[in-house]
Each structure stands twice: as structure tokens, then as C-alpha cells.
């Protein structure tokens, strides 16, 4: 069974973990390499969660303003702040 993780498709095979990028590049990890990656991610889990939250916080949220051809403001929707 495959799992989709962002732009990657992950699959376990007899030889280990296969990560396939959407562009077609494959990463064939041995069991030892896959466990090493798991240890690395575990150590940096909090950092990754913080980075993910910061990325969400910096998404642009602009107000929408619609102006008629004569220059008058027709409607205005405030930003989500």
C-alpha cells in the first residue's frame, strides 16, 4: 500500500522504503537508512512543527476591493485578521 506525503509517494518493499517524487526521482532507502531518517525526524519534530506553523502564519490574506468603471467602490471584503 502506498502513502502520499505532499509531493512524495511512499511505499514499503522487501528491500526497504521507496520514496518517489512527483518528478519521477526515486529514493530507495535500506531499512537502516529509513530508521536513521525516522530518528532524524523524531529529533527535529518540534522544529518542523514550528516551521510549519510559521509558514501558515505568513500566508497572505489580502482584502478584496471591487471598483466600478466610474471609480466608485462597489464592494469590499475585509481580510481575515
Q: Where are the domains of the chain?
A: 2-77
Q: What is the pLDDT of residue 54?
A: 77
User: Residue 61: its pLDDT value, please?
Assistant: 65
- Residues 18-74 have pLDDT tens digits of 999 999 999 999 999 999 999 999 999 999 998 888 776 655 666 667 778 887 877
What is the per-residue pLDDT for 59?
A: 55
- State the residue for C-alpha cell 475585509: 78
Model's pTM, two decimal places? 0.60
Amino acid at each position: 500500500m502506498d502513502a502520499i506525503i505532499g509531493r512524495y509517494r511512499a511505499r514499503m518493499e522487501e528491500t526497504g522504503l521507496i520514496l518517489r517524487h512527483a518528478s519521477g526521482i526515486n529514493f530507495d532507502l535500506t531499512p537502516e537508512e529509513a530508521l536513521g531518517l525516522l530518528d532524524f525526524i523524531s529529533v527535529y519534530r518540534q522544529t518542523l512543527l514550528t516551521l510549519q506553523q510559521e509558514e501558515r502564519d505568513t500566508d497572505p490574506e489580502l482584502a478584496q476591493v471591487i471598483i466600478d468603471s466610474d471609480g466608485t467602490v462597489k464592494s469590499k471584503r475585509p481580510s481575515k485578521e
